[in-house]
Structure formats: structure tokens, C-alpha cells
Amino acid sequence: MKAACVLLCLALGASANIFKRQRQNLIEQPQEYINQYQRPLYRPREQTYQEYIRAQKQVQSSSEETREIQDAYQGLNTPLYSAAVMSVQDAIPRGYPPSKREWTMPINVPELGIWRGQLPVDSPVAQEIQSIVTQAKQAMKPMTAEDKTSFQSLAAQKDDENAHLNATELLKKYQYPVEEHTVKTDDGYFLTLFRIPAKKQQIRDVTAKPVVFLMHGLLGSADDWLLMGPGKSLAYLLADAGYDVWLGNARGNKYSRRHVTKHAALDDFWQFSTDEVALHDLPAMIDYALKTSGQEKLHYVGHAFGSTAFFALAAARPAYNEKIISMHALSPMVYMSHVRSPLIRMSAPTGSFWARLQRLIGRGAFEPTKELIASAGGDMLATEIGNNIVSSNVNFVMSGVIDNAEQVPVVGAHLPAGGSSRTIKQYGQAVASGEFMKYDFGPAINSQVYGTVVPSKYNMSKVTAPVTLYSAADDWLSHPTDVARLQSELPHSETYEVPEPHFSHMDFQFSTKAPEIVYKKLIESMNRPY
């Protein structure tokens, strides 16, 4: 009895010690600490319209002007109102560092909270929405009556079995060998990795195979590399080409929703941006894949967010460049100044929508409301395409439609696979700042977390791995101009622009043309000596 107690006490003591040591080493940004600062900051010190008017009144005291201001308040669309909004907007400079006052005082006139339908069409805010949505529409393939019919008929189509299968089931269905692995990150998240060790004829002799690691896009999962089936989706093509294929899943997607202490039902679990995926998830997954396969280096393929995270990792921890044979970025998302996605553009803190969007985007899991989806392009897609899967799904609304109408129900069933609000906000911040930097908590917390008022930039000249950037002229998220800037900063990089008009962001994964115009080139480039 006594001996048992001694043993128990020893065990408890030891585990408490290990736990303490882990906490010290691993948690870079203590959550309670951030929350403590974040809550008051995110309840922005708003200047109400009344306060704004009152301030104006002190300047403009003539009674006529006061009446005009009151009219403006009611009618929302008089010239004076426009001037008022313009003058507030003009006070907010584009670019960093924003002064404290500008950053913490979002414009908050009541009508900015009113969206679709209720906004007078010629009010400046309605016009700003209109102009954002119009630019996105211009990058879309114009729909013929025939295209529209094919999209609309999809709604009535019989359910495709693939809509309901997970990655393992999809691979088994097509007789590819598959393994499921679980990796724990150094900050306690459990991530699922899928592995296709070989194509079906070559199950033996997997050890010598080169490893390729595939990382999904924004709100995506490993499934996205499999949905079009063998002979089409990239994961099967790579397995057929003799690679040991690993499919990653970022924290927060449907396959990676466990943590040692945090529960995914609570906001606490979701306090991460691309930074945490880049600095904790990717190293854990890459190291695990290398260790398990017995290799020292791997090829990396990232779609969109999967590329953002890679560039952040390779810049912040340059030693990881040594583990990369070659990196292939489909629709690279680093600089976001020219982004055409309405949702991401509206998420920029410099836009008129910020105060409203902060609330709609939330602060935990990203679970967009119908109102947000409709306002950020869903209404436009409903008119243009007339398929309700497309116009109500955040991935289509954020990234544009795909050219493969048949694939829409399956894609719509697998996406969105989950992600955090911070990830979306961080892209919005990149639109406003024109820079690729860590998540911006606002000056007060930045100072505590990073030691500087402005978050640090990721230095692209530290990304020494050989990189190929695959871009498309009409991609809503990855604009060729932004890609050109990225390429100019990367020491070993080349760009391949897809020779196809209106090739959309998600066409990189779901277009019937992708195997021919993207994957063929990618696999050839991977096969060459590095």
C-alpha cells in the first residue's frame, strides 16, 4: 500500500514536471494573456454617428449646414453625407504603421451595418460593395445560356457517392493503398495525415520513393486533392508517378479538431492564424512524414493557404528550406494588394465594412452567416450562375466558381472543411498593409506579443528552397501582379502562368483542364534534378 502510494506520488510529480516544462517551452503566446488584452481591444472604441455629427457641428455651426447633416443622416445619400464619409476615409492612410488613433477608431456610421437591399443604391457604401463585386465579376468567365442551364440542372442531379466519402474511403474506393497518421504539434493540436504509400501495383519497396507533401487551401482539407478521382486529381497522379504522397490537414479542419486540453466547441481552440499553422503544424507534419518514410527531404505542393503557410515557415525558420527538394505553389497567396475576392477585400481594416465584418467574421471558428455570404458576393453569384450550392457556399463565394459544373455538388459537400476567423482576418490585414506579416492584434497586444507595435514581416529572401509559382490571370485571390512581386523577392523561383482565360482559384484543384495545363507541368518539374 505504502509502496503503491510512493510510486503514484512519484509518477504524479514527474508528469507535473514534464507538463510544466512543456508549457514553458512550447506556448509562445499565452492564450489567457492574449485574451485579456484582446477582449477590450476588439470591442472597438467606436465613434458613433451621433458623436461624429456632434464633432462636425462644433466646426460647422450654421443652422443650414446642421439641417443638411440631419438630412444626410436620414437620407444617407445626400452630397454632404458622401463628403462626410469620404473625409473619414481619407483620414485613414493605406499602409503601415497606422497611428493608434486610426487603428482603434473604425468608422461606424449606422448605415454601414446595413447590407443588401436596405442600402440606397447610390450611397457610397453601396457603391463600394458594387465596385468590389463588379471587379470580381469581370474576372469570371461570362456565362452563356447553355452554361447557366448546366449549372442549374446540377441542383436536380442525383447525389454523387463521393460527396459523402472521407479521404480514406475515397482512396479505398479507387483501390489505392492508404494510411491514416496522427501527429501532435508542439502546442498540443492533433493533426491527421493521409498517406498514399504507392500506387496499387507497387505496394512493396516504398522506402526509396521520393516524398511529396500536399497542403490544402483556405478552409480546405486533404480531400481536395482527391475529389476529381484517379487520372485527374493531383494526389492520384503523383502516386501513379511513383511518389510517396502525404496529404496534410491544418488545425481546425474536420480532420484536425482535437487538442490535448482545448475543446473545438469553444473559441479558445480557434485562436490561431496562418502563423500557428506555419510555425507549428507544418513542421510537425513535415518532420513526421520525413521520419516515417526515412527520407531527408521532400517536395512540397501547396494550394493558396497551403502556400502562405509554407512561405511563412521557410522565412521564419530558414532551416526548413534544407528539407525541401522543391516547392510548388498553386495560386500563391502572399501579397494581397490586388486581391479580387469580395470577402477578403471587404475584410481589410481600411475598408468601410470593417466594423461590421469584425462582428460577422467572429473570433473563433469561421462560420460565416448567410448575410455575410450574400453580401460578399453570394447575391452576385446567384444572379450570374443560378445554382444555390455555388451562391451559398463560402468557398465559392470567396474564390469564384469552377469551370467543372459536374463537380460542384461534390466540392460543395467537402468545402468548407473548417478554419479560424483569424486566418480570414489576417488576409484582410494583408490587403490593407500590402505586406506579408504576422497576425496583427492591434498595437497594444502586438507590443506585448511581438515587442513591436507593428507585427514583423516575413522576409521572402530567406526562402531559399527552389520555388515554382503557378498563377492565373483571373484568379480572385492570387493576382499575377502580387505573384510577380513575390517572385522578385524569392531567390530561387520561377513563375508559370496558366495559359487559360478565366481559370479560377479553385480550378487549380477542380477543373477538368488542371491535369493537362497544371499538373503535367508540375510533375515534370518535380521529376527534374534539383
Q: Footprint of ligand NAG on this chain (CB under 6 A)? A: 166, 168-169, 180, 192, 255, 459, 461-462
Shortest distance (Å) from residue 222 CB to ligand NAG: 9
Specify the residue, 288 or 470, whose C-beta has the smaller distance to ligand NAG. Answer: 288
Shortest distance (Å) from residue 190 CB to ligand NAG: 11
C-alpha 264: how far from chain center: 19
Shortest distance (Å) from residue 462 CB to ligand NAG: 5
- Nearest alpha carbon to residue 181 among 196, 203, 198: 196
What are the φ and ψ backbone dihedral angles of 286, each rounded to 5 degrees? -65, -45
Specify the residue, 39 or 164, whose C-beta has the smaller distance to ligand NAG. Answer: 164
For 436-468, give one letter per residue: b (16+ CB within 10 A) or e. Answer: bbbbbbbbbbbeebbeebbbeebebebbebbbb
Measured distance CA(336)–CA(218) in Å, rounded: 14
Shortest distance (Å) from residue 279 CB to ligand NAG: 18
Measured distance CA(378)–CA(499) in Å, rounded: 28
Specify the residue, 161 or 516, whose C-beta has the smaller distance to ligand NAG. Answer: 161
Shortest distance (Å) from residue 236 CB to ligand NAG: 18
The one-letter code for the residue type at 265 is A
Specify the residue, 298 or 460, whose C-beta has the smaller distance to ligand NAG. Answer: 460
Measured distance CA(349)–CA(84) in Å, rounded: 19
**Contact, 107 vs 46, CB < 8 A?**
no
Three-state secondary structure call for residue 449: helix
- Nearest alpha carbon to residue 442 among 29, 48, 44, 90: 44
Shortest distance (Å) from residue 87 CB to ligand NAG: 35
Specify the residue, 28 or 180, whose C-beta has the smaller distance to ligand NAG. Answer: 180
What are the φ and ψ backbone dihedral angles of 469, each rounded to 5 degrees? -105, 125
Specify the residue, 65 or 489, whose C-beta has the smaller distance to ligand NAG. Answer: 489
Specify the residue, 238 or 314, whose C-beta has the smaller distance to ligand NAG. Answer: 314
Shortest distance (Å) from residue 493 CB to ligand NAG: 15
Under DSSP, the state recorded for 517 is I
Measured distance CA(505)–CA(306) in Å, rounded: 13
Specify the residue, 435 or 475, whose C-beta has the smaller distance to ligand NAG. Answer: 435
Specify the residue, 168 or 292, whose C-beta has the smaller distance to ligand NAG. Answer: 168
- C-alpha distance from residue 104 to each of 41, 265, 273, 442 (Å): 8, 29, 20, 8
Measured distance CA(387)–CA(92) in Å, rounded: 39
C-alpha 420: how far from chain center: 9
Q: Which helix (H) or strand (E) is 471 found in, with range?
A: strand 467-471
Specify the residue, 342 or 466, whose C-beta has the smaller distance to ligand NAG. Answer: 466
**Contact, 457 vs 435, CB < 8 A?**
yes
Three-state secondary structure call for residue 408: helix
Shortest distance (Å) from residue 28 CB to ligand NAG: 20
Three-state secondary structure call for residue 441: coil
Measured distance CA(156)–CA(136) in Å, rounded: 28
- Nearest alpha carbon to residue 181 among 264, 272, 270, 291: 291
Shortest distance (Å) from residue 459 CB to ligand NAG: 4
- Nearest alpha carbon to residue 407 among 481, 509, 275, 319: 509
Shortest distance (Å) from residue 129 CB to ligand NAG: 36
Specify the residue, 187 or 223, whose C-beta has the smaller distance to ligand NAG. Answer: 223
Shortest distance (Å) from residue 460 CB to ligand NAG: 8
